[in-house]
Structure 1
Amino acid sequence: MEKLIENVARASTATKVAAVAGIVILVTALNYFAMGLNMGPSISETETRIQRMRNEQARLDREYIEKTSIANNLNQFRREKELLEERLRQALAELPEDKNIDELLQLFQDRAQKAGLEIGTIEPQAAVADRFFARIPIPMTVTGTFHEIATFFDALGRMQRIVNVTDISLDSPKDVSGKVILNGKFLATTFMFVDASAKPPKGGAK
């Protein structure tokens, strides 16, 4: 090392300048290659990218949970909707939106026949509106035994559509083949739903 220093000291000025220039070039080259080897992202940039990816993953997780919850609630809403529709069908069977008088009178005939009862007269009257429903009075007369009349009334009470029986009158008993036959008179009242928000047709009755 001492000999190298002595040689440099004895060297001419031009040689010393060339040596210094070579050293500068060598250091510059080393710095260039060192920088070339470190062209990738820095630790700070990598940490930032990792944090950004974690945030995105957390957002996707939240969206998945929210959508799963919505899907589960949707199934629950569908079940509740089906239940409400079934209840509505049952309610409309009890309180229909139409009179359906012909169908109702046929049911009366069927129930009377099964009870062994004979219907004398059956006279549906005009509907009487009362808030959200209307009453449809149906005066009736029948002929039969007390048991047959009672069986008929019980059958009317078991119908899906609401039918009330009032103003019952039984009279004129007579013996027919060992049976006491009575004349029955009563008022059967059924009901229908009335949409209070619906406007009556033009020119029609209110």
Structure 2
Amino acid sequence: MELGLNRLPWYGQVGVFLVVAVALFVVFRIYYVGPRLEVQAERQVDLDGKRAEVAQARQDAIELAAFQVEVDDLNNRLDALSAVLPEQQEVSQLLRRLTTFANDSNLTIRAFRPQATVAREMHSEWPIRLELDGTYHNLGIFFDRISKFARIINVSDVVIRAKEPPELNLTIAAECTATTFVLIDPPEAEPVAAPAT
């Protein structure tokens, strides 16, 4: 008996052809296409991860720009506040300024006594005891000039007494405490080391 495809009826030949074709397709799929699909799936996962990193980097860049604007704004505010709250005691400058205010207000400074500073969290208070001679109106002008000074100066513990005997333009003796503020620099934070990659 001779085996050959020619002896099979046409539908048998088609059936054998289909079985061989399916077998070849399965072998092709298992040994060639399957590994390629796995590699492609791994690459797709890597690509999705890289796209997520790029999206996060873009978001970080946007946030960095916003943070930079905020830092610049805060630095500008700090510079403006540093003019109002200096970082060191400027005794001679403050004495000159208070003397100028007193002279412009027709007052005489009898005493200028700096007191001990009082440390607070972000600033220190620096009280200065003043003794002044003049008129009540001139004392009001002096306090008004202090209130308009760029640097913060609080006036407290005001004691006003009539001068005995009163003289021309010297009817009162006043004592007060002028408290100014000095900005304390926070200690420098140690830089944080970047994690090794």
Q: Give the alignment's TM-score, normalised by structure 1.
A: 0.57
Choose which of 106, 122, 126 in structure 2 pairs with 1:136.
126
Structure 1's unaligned 5+ residue stretches are 1-37, 198-206
C-alpha spacing 1:159/1:44, structure 2 compared with 1 (3 Å): same
Deviations 1:118-152 (A, max 9, x none): 33334232424345454433222334443332122
The answer to whether the Cα contact below 8 Å between 2:86 and 2:183 also exists between their aligned partners in 1 is yes
Check if 1:171 corresponds to 2:172. Answer: no
Which letter does structure 2 place at the counterpart of 1:118? Answer: L
C-alpha spacing 1:118/1:92, structure 2 compared with 1 (3 Å): same
Once residues 134 and 36 of structure 2 are traced to their aligned partners in structure 1, the CA distance between those partners, rounded to angstroms, is: 98
Q: Offset of 1:69 from its aligned partner?
A: 1.4
Check if 1:100 corresponds to 2:55. Answer: no
The answer to whether the Cα contact below 8 Å between 1:127 and 1:134 also exists between their aligned partners in 2 is no
Deviations 1:7-45 (A, max 9, x none): xxxxxxxxxxxxxxxxxxxxxxxxxxxxxxx9xx94434
C-alpha spacing 1:62/1:120, structure 2 compared with 1 (3 Å): same
Check if 1:120 corresponds to 2:114. Answer: no
Once residues 68 and 93 of structure 1 are traced to their aligned partners in structure 2, the CA distance between those partners, rounded to angstroms, is: 38
C-alpha spacing 1:93/1:122, structure 2 compared with 1 (3 Å): farther
Paired residues in the alignment total: 156
Aligned Cα root-mean-square deviation (Å) = 3.6
Superposed, which structure 2 residues align to 1:1-206 within 5 Å? Answer: 42-114=32-104, 116-132=105-121, 133-168=123-158, 169-172=160-163, 174=166, 176=168, 181-193=171-183
Once residues 62 and 124 of structure 2 are traced to their aligned partners in structure 1, the CA distance between those partners, rounded to angstroms, is: 41
C-alpha spacing 1:51/1:128, structure 2 compared with 1 (3 Å): closer
Which letter does structure 1 place at the counterpart of 2:179? Answer: T
C-alpha spacing 1:80/1:121, structure 2 compared with 1 (3 Å): same
Q: Offset of 1:78 from its aligned partner?
A: 1.8
What's the % identity of the aligned pairs?
A: 23
Which letter does structure 1 place at the counterpart of 2:102? Answer: A
Q: Offset of 1:153 from its aligned partner?
A: 0.7
Q: Give the alignment's TM-score, normalised by structure 2.
A: 0.59
Q: Offset of 1:65 from its aligned partner?
A: 0.6
Once residues 80 and 178 of structure 2 are traced to their aligned partners in structure 1, the CA distance between those partners, rounded to angstroms, is: 21
Which letter does structure 1 place at the counterpart of 2:116? Answer: A
The answer to whether the Cα contact below 8 Å between 2:101 and 2:145 also exists between their aligned partners in 1 is yes
